[in-house]
Amino acid sequence: MGDGNDTGKVLDIKTADIKSTAPIFHTQGKNLSKALTTLVTTLDGLGKPWGDDEQGKKFGDAYTPQQKAIEKAAGTLVLGLISIHEAMTDMADGHVDNDELIAGMFAKVQPKVGEGYDGEAK
């Protein structure tokens, strides 16, 4: 916009690109979910693996009060990635439907004589 490189295109949406990219968000959401589960179960199983030395205590004092918030935030990211997948799939389907609707609007329809058309090409 305003950079002097106007191609004249408003949108250049390729449904194949959207459909091929959408599953990546689902896959990465599942991967993040597995990582979060591993983190939570491992840390819970280990107790306080950071130790009780000075550095361990500093980490524990900072991490422990925030642990649930960190887990919740990561869970929100998982849901976000999954919803992006769903939204992109819906968007691709909607784009195809919209293209078909617009194509139908501009299909060649021959007007009938007497309905504002006198039968001669203009």
- Average pLDDT per run of 10 along the chain, which is 122 residues long? 53 75 88 91 84 91 89 91 84 68 66 60 52
Tell me if 108 is assigned to some domain: no
Is 50 part of a structural domain of the chain?
A: yes
Structure tokens, 13 = 């949406």
* Residue 32 is assigned to a structural domain of this protein: yes
Q: What is the pLDDT, as a whole number, of residue 112?
A: 65
pLDDT value of residue 119: 57
Residue 60: CATH number of its domain: 1.10.287
* pLDDT, position 82: 87
What pLDDT does residue 38 have? Answer: 92
- To the question of pTM greater than 0.85 for the whole model, the response is no
Instruction: Indicate the burial class of 88 (C-beta count within 10 angstroms; 0-12, 13-18, 19 or more).
Output: buried
Domain count, the chain: 1
CA 80 to the chain's CA centroid: 8
Asked if residue 110 is part of any domain, the answer here is no
Q: Which domain holds residue 46?
A: 15-95
Dihedral sign of CA atoms 59, 48, 76, 92 in order: positive
